[in-house]
């Protein structure tokens, strides 16, 4: 590849849904993913939700021949679930864990325990350094009443800031992951607008739904790509589709074609240009099998990286007045989340104070009884003890919640403040 | 400053020890710090442990005339305590919170609640962008048996990685903060070796202990600077000194001159050279007052930034074979921490299982009693309930500890793995 002015990169991205004990037919699917990656021979493979280190180790052994370089990012209680396999040497790695990631008491959602992060690898692809990121953002459990939207926006903002600050040392930035946002959502517009990252699906000169050979869905650069693709009958690059046996069909009722929440994004920093030649997705079951690779569809992009004569400036995909609108919209949502968090902090603080008062009252009554001051019927000992334990339990729980919501308020406030600074800078620019 | 080939920067760094309700004479000291900063007119001011947002707001109002740009970094329950005041416009900010920062149950130390971080501001200083970082690392409570060493090493490593990855977009990197490490400690050697940052104290052509006018302690670049300075009777740039009325004298017994744990570090990235012209520290009480600014001494450096003809390469202050030794040493310590964390995880897991077994036993006994199977003396109800509550309490606590130590193991393991990769790369290099 050395000396070759163009580099053709085949990139694979998949949310593997490989949670030990919980994900259906996990081991079989991980084996199928390994077989396919070995057969297809991509250049870079970005996987999310590989929660079991054993699965990663098995994949590493299996893929070692074709992908000699790999990295598994560790964080949180369960792990980040992120790993990268590469044909090119990995020079350096960095993990950024988002400051907010749901609530520890929402056990049924469990995002808090995952330590959701963006994992960054710096690779040396022949002639140029390439920054390779694999992010995952907080899941959306209810689109109509999305309690996690402010957290996801903080994550999208932190991801954008992280990419902006770390990308200067590379020629090309490549991001592939499950962003848990629809293409028109404010978070994805914020991420793309503020970093200048381009959406491989929107930029692809050829889009092909794997296994059907429907080609020629020509793309023109733009923020939202859906109407064009829908009108041509494409599956719109969706990665959560109704004909995948593991998806929740009721969740997809308002979206008969499915939704697109997994992305490959890229940008050239210095004197390079990147073009997306082709984009593919899988569609449900693996050919010849009754099981898909995951509950998400894989995204596969073929990118062309070419050196050009002069250095390319930063070319954000969103014009600055539009960017200011997007930041304002995101800031409003973060502000709404901030007020909710302040309210929750106040409620848990009040609950802690009430429990403390109850305990003090009980202590006074107990002291009174000891001093022989209680004239009437004594309070039954068992109920008295149960009440005291209940009060202690509530006090501990409420204090924990108060501390947690204090942290949440701090981070939402910090993000809102950063966005305010950026808006001011955007408005002051000539 | 525009068009001027050299830039003279006066930098101020201080750990303010401004904890609401806990720090002695806080408001008076914050007022004194504000007065001095206003009077002295530095270019960049880096403050740590400003835990109260009210103190920051007061300083911002007071200093607004001379330092029109400022930023306060929010994180953790109490906050990061970091803030920056600048004469130059702040273009962008980023906060990186270390993945490990002590233990939540060590309430008497409290580092866990602070959300210790490194705050990064990108400033525009006349003709060049400058990356300005204000870090604080976990405190050292007992040097002989330092239980927090692995956490501090993970923080030093993350700080180094963060600086390496974010510094490419700037011409000059400047870091000022309380690193809680002596100059010869493995953590500071790791940070300096892996980033190429230079220690302003070691590089200063003139070192002056403020208020005494003892000048001419000539410096030559080197890793450790102590023997030279000691032989000339300098105070060795110490920032925790015995004649500060707030320092813990017993802690300083083995170090009669004090210790140096606050640093100003810098490096030039592109076609610039940076030289430290002068370094000063405060020494105890504010002149004419009976109170010092803080329990730490302030560090003040005058830096010269000059454009040079050709781009300067990365010039790490530690040669690569030495760097490999430092990384190996750090990795060994992280490995020790990993084994301790694994042991703690195992102990808390075992405790949780025992509490669960006790609960199940009680449930079986209760069910037996309900079914009329207990032949002998019934267990007193009150003691039975108390025991059940105790078991529930232990179960919850032990589960919490298990989750916490699982996260700790993941992060220590991840850092050890990153260090292994770096060592391999260092050894493979020709």
Per-residue pLDDT, averaged over A293-316, amounts to: 77
Structural domain includes residue A184:
yes
Cα–Cα dist A139/A137, whole Å: 6
Q: Looking at beta carbons, which residues of chain B come within 8 Å of A79?
A: 410
What φ, ψ does residue A70 adopt, rounded to 5°? -155, 160
A124 in contact with B at a CB cutoff of 8 Å? Answer: no
Last residue of a domain, one of B298, B313, B328: B313
pLDDT at residue B430 in the model = 58
Last residue of a domain, one of B275, B291, B313: B313
Do A410 and B120 make contact, defined as CB atoms within 8 angstroms?
A: no
Domain count along chain A: 2
pLDDT at residue A232 in the model = 30
Cα–Cα dist B40/A323, whole Å: 40
Interface with A, mutate which of B99, B133, B165 (most A CBs under 10 A): B165
pLDDT at residue A199 in the model = 93
Q: What is the DSSP string of A154-172?
A: HHHHHHHHHHHHHGGG-SE
Out of A79, A96, A410, name the one closest to residue B410 (CB): A79
Contact A11, A280 (CB under 8 A): no
Contact A266, A173 (CB under 8 A): yes
| Shortest CA gap A37–chain B (Å) | 24
Cα–Cα dist B206/B201, whole Å: 9
| Shortest CA gap B320–chain A (Å) | 16
Least confident of A173-187, A370-384, B150-164, B286-300: A370-384
pLDDT digits (tens, 9 = 90+) for A188-217: 999 999 999 999 998 887 776 654 433 333
Do both B274 and B402 map to the same domain? no
Is pLDDT larger for residue A58 or for residue A252? A58
Chain-centre distance of CA B206, in angstroms? Answer: 26
pLDDT at residue A285 in the model = 84
Interface with B, mutate which of A51, A394, A410, A426 (most B CBs under 10 A): A410
pLDDT digits (tens, 9 = 90+) for B380-415: 777 888 888 889 889 999 999 999 999 999 999 999
pLDDT at residue B2 in the model = 44
Q: Which residue has the tokens 């009252």?
A: A361
pLDDT at residue A385 in the model = 81
B406 in contact with A at a CB cutoff of 8 Å? Answer: yes
Buried-exposed string A3-22: b where 16+ CB fall within 10 A, e elsewhere: eeeebebbbbbbbbbbbeee
Q: Looking at beta carbons, which residues of chain B come within 8 Å of A422?
A: 92
A161 in contact with B at a CB cutoff of 8 Å? Answer: yes
Cα–Cα dist B401/B409, whole Å: 12
B105 in contact with A at a CB cutoff of 8 Å? Answer: no
Question: How high does pLDDT run on average in chain A?
Answer: 83
Do both A118 and A187 map to the same domain? yes
Do both A193 and A225 map to the same domain? yes
| Shortest CA gap A73–chain B (Å) | 7
Nearest CA in chain A to B70: A421
Chain-centre distance of CA A111, in angstroms? Answer: 10
Nearest CA in chain B to A382: B382
Tokens of A414: 């910090």
Domain encompassing residue A26: 7-313
A248 in contact with B at a CB cutoff of 8 Å? Answer: no
Do B161 and A94 make contact, defined as CB atoms within 8 angstroms?
A: yes
Instruction: Return contacts of A211-218, CB within 8 angstroms, 24+ apart.
Output: A211/A282, A211/A283, A211/A287, A212/A283
Task: Please give the model's pTM, rounded to 2 decimal places.
Answer: 0.84
Structural domain includes residue A284:
yes
* Contacts (Cβ under 8 Å, ≥6 apart) of B213: none
B35 in contact with A at a CB cutoff of 8 Å? Answer: no
Chain-centre distance of CA A133, in angstroms? Answer: 11
Structural domain includes residue A35:
yes
Query: Predicted confidence band at A184 (pLDDT cuts at 50, 70, 90)?
Result: very high
Q: Looking at beta carbons, which residues of chain A come within 8 Å of B165?
A: 92, 94, 120, 122, 165-166, 169
pLDDT at residue A148 in the model = 87
A425 in contact with B at a CB cutoff of 8 Å? Answer: yes
Do both B232 and B328 map to the same domain? no
Nearest CA in chain B to A160: B94
Contact B362, B391 (CB under 8 A): yes
Out of A72, A122, A161, name the one closest to residue B94 (CB): A161
pLDDT at residue A308 in the model = 78
Last residue of a domain, one of B271, B288, B313: B313
Q: Looking at beta carbons, which residues of chain A come within 8 Å of B162?
A: 94
Helix, strand and coil percent figures for chain A, each rounded to 5:
40, 20, 40
What number of CA atoms fall less than 13 Å from residue B286's CA on the CB side? 17
Do both A168 and A278 map to the same domain? yes
Out of B77, B162, B410, name the one closest to residue A403 (CB): B77
Do both A304 and A395 map to the same domain? no
Chain-centre distance of CA A189, in angstroms? Answer: 14
pLDDT digits (tens, 9 = 90+) for A258-292: 999 999 999 988 778 899 988 888 888 888 888 99
Q: Which of the 8 DSSP states describes residue A236?
A: T
Do both A294 and A349 map to the same domain? no
Residues of B with a known catalytic role: 296
**Residue whose C-alpha is closest to residue A85's, from A106, A107, A70:** A70
pLDDT at residue A217 in the model = 35
Per-residue pLDDT, averaged over A224-243, amounts to: 56
Cα–Cα dist A169/A123, whole Å: 11
A97 in contact with B at a CB cutoff of 8 Å? Answer: yes
Query: Predicted confidence band at A310 (pLDDT cuts at 50, 70, 90)?
Result: low
Q: Which of the 8 DSSP states describes residue B245?
A: T
Do B79 and A382 make contact, defined as CB atoms within 8 angstroms?
A: no
B98 in contact with A at a CB cutoff of 8 Å? Answer: no
CA dihedral A178, A182, A185, A187 (to 10 degrees): 0
Query: Predicted confidence band at A66 (pLDDT cuts at 50, 70, 90)?
Result: very high
Cα–Cα dist B117/B98, whole Å: 6
Contact A40, A73 (CB under 8 A): no
**Residue ranges of the alpha helices (H) in A217-319?**
226-231
pLDDT at residue A413 in the model = 93
Out of A76, A382, A406, name the one closest to residue B385 (CB): A382
Q: Looking at beta carbons, which residues of chain B come within 8 Å of A164?
A: 92
pLDDT digits (tens, 9 = 90+) for A319-362: 667 899 999 999 999 999 999 999 999 999 999 999 999 999 98
Contact A180, A143 (CB under 8 A): no
How many A×B Cβ pairs under 8 Å? 100
Do B74 and A410 make contact, defined as CB atoms within 8 angstroms?
A: yes
Structural domain includes residue B132:
yes
Interface with B, mutate which of A165, A166, A172, A403 (most B CBs under 10 A): A165
Q: Name the range with the highest mean pLDDT among A78-82, A86-90, B63-67.
A: B63-67
Lateral strand order in the sheet of A6-18: A69-72, A83-86, A44-50, A6-18, A299-307, A272-281, A207-209
Do both B279 and B328 map to the same domain? no
Three-class HEC string of B372-426: CCCCCCCCCHHHHHHHHHHHHHHHHHHHHHHHHHHHHHHHHHHHHHHHHHHHHHH
pLDDT at residue A186 in the model = 93
pLDDT at residue A430 in the model = 58
Interface with B, mutate which of A91, A121, A414 (most B CBs under 10 A): A414
Single out the catalytic residue among A138, A225, A296, A405: A296
- Return the CA Rg of chain A: 25
B417 in contact with A at a CB cutoff of 8 Å? Answer: yes
Q: How far is CA A62 from CA A30, A33, A34, A57, A83, in A?
A: 11, 11, 7, 9, 15
B347 in contact with A at a CB cutoff of 8 Å? Answer: no
Cα–Cα dist A97/A11, whole Å: 24
Strand partners, A274: A305
B182 in contact with A at a CB cutoff of 8 Å? Answer: no
Do both A215 and A263 map to the same domain? yes
Q: How far is CA A197 from CA A272, A301, B64, B289, B430, in A?
A: 14, 15, 37, 56, 36
Do both A164 and A231 map to the same domain? yes
Tokens of A346: 């106040």
Interface predicted TM-score (ipTM): 0.80
Q: Looking at beta carbons, which residues of chain B come within 8 Å of A120?
A: 165
Do both B271 and B396 map to the same domain? no
pLDDT at residue B378 in the model = 64
Nearest CA in chain B to A165: B166
* Contacts (Cβ under 8 Å, ≥6 apart) of A123: A44, A69, A86, A88, A89, A90, A91, A129, A130, A131, A132
pLDDT digits (tens, 9 = 90+) for A99-111: 888 888 777 777 7
Structural domain includes residue A1:
no
Orientation angle between helical segments A381-428 and A149-166, nearest 10 degrees = 50
A73 in contact with B at a CB cutoff of 8 Å? Answer: yes
* pLDDT greater than 90 at residue A63: yes
Query: Predicted confidence band at A179 (pLDDT cuts at 50, 70, 90)?
Result: very high
Do A97 and B94 make contact, defined as CB atoms within 8 angstroms?
A: no
A182 is catalytic: no
| Shortest CA gap B373–chain A (Å) | 23
Q: Which residue has the tokens 């004239």?
A: A375
**Residue whose C-alpha is closest to residue B393's, from A389, A383, A104:** A389
Do both B164 and B266 map to the same domain? yes
The length of chain A in residues reads 430
Out of B73, B169, B425, name the one closest to residue A165 (CB): B169
The length of chain B in residues reads 430
| Shortest CA gap A169–chain B (Å) | 5
* Contacts (Cβ under 8 Å, ≥6 apart) of A172: A125, A128, A129, A130, A131, A266, A267, A268, A269, A272, A274, A305
Do B99 and A96 make contact, defined as CB atoms within 8 angstroms?
A: no
| Shortest CA gap A99–chain B (Å) | 8
* pLDDT greater than 90 at residue A29: yes
Q: What is the CATH number of the domain that holds A92?
A: 3.60.10.10
pLDDT digits (tens, 9 = 90+) for A119-161: 877 777 765 667 777 777 777 777 777 888 999 999 999 999 9
B168 in contact with A at a CB cutoff of 8 Å? Answer: yes
Residues of chain B with pLDDT under 50: 1-3, 211-234, 311-317
Q: How far is CA A60 from CA A49, A83, A292, B281, B368, in A?
A: 15, 10, 21, 53, 53
pLDDT at residue B379 in the model = 67
Structural domain includes residue B1:
no
């Amino acid at each position: 590849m050395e000396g070759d002015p163009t580099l053709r990169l085949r990139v694979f991205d998949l949310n593997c849904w490989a949670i030990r004990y919980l994900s259906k037919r996990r081991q079989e699917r991980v084996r199928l993913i390994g077989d396919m990656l070995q057969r297809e021979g991509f250049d870079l493979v970005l996987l999310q939700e590989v929660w079991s280190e054993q699965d990663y180790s098995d994949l590493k052994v299996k893929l070692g021949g074709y992908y000699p370089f790999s990295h598994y990012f560790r964080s949180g209680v369960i792990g980040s679930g992120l790993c990268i396999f590469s044909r090119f040497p990995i020079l350096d790695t960095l993990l950024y864990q988002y400051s907010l990631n749901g609530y520890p008491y929402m056990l049924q959602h469990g995002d808090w325990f995952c330590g959701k992060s963006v994992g960054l690898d710096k690779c040396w692809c022949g002639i140029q350094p390439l920054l390779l990121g694999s992010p995952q953002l907080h899941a959306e459990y209810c689109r109509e009443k999305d309690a996690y939207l402010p957290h996801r926006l903080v994550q999208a903002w932190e991801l954008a800031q992280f990419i902006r600050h770390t990308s200067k040392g590379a020629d090309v930035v490549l991001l592939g992951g499950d962003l848990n946002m629809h293409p028109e959502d404010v978070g994805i517009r914020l991420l793309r607008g503020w970093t200048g990252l381009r959406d491989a699906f929107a930029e692809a000169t050829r889009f092909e739904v794997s296994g059907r050979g429907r080609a020629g869905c020509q793309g023109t650069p733009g923020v939202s790509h859906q109407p064009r693709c829908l009108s041509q009958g494409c599956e719109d690059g969706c990665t959560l589709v109704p004909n995948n046996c593991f998806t929740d069909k009721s969740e997809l009722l308002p979206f008969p074609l499915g939704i697109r929440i997994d992305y490959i994004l890229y940008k050239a920093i210095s004197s390079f240009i990147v073009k997306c030649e082709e984009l593919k997705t899988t569609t449900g079951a693996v050919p010849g099998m009754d099981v898909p690779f995951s509950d998400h569809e894989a995204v596969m992009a073929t990118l062309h990286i070419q050196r050009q004569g002069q250095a390319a400036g930063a070319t954000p995909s969103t014009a600055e007045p539009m960017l200011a609108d997007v930041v304002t919209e995101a800031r409003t949502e973060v502000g709404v989340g901030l007020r909710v968090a302040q309210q929750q902090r106040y409620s848990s603080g009040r609950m802690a104070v009430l429990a403390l008062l109850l305990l003090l009252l009980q202590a006074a009554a107990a002291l009174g009884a000891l001093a022989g001051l209680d004239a009437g019927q004594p309070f039954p000992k068992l109920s008295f003890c149960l009440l005291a334990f209940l009060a202690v339990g509530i006090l501990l729980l409420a204090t924990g919640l108060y501390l947690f919501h204090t942290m949440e308020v701090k981070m939402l406030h910090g993000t809102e403040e950063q966005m305010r600074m950026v808006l001011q800078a955007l408005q002051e620019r000539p």
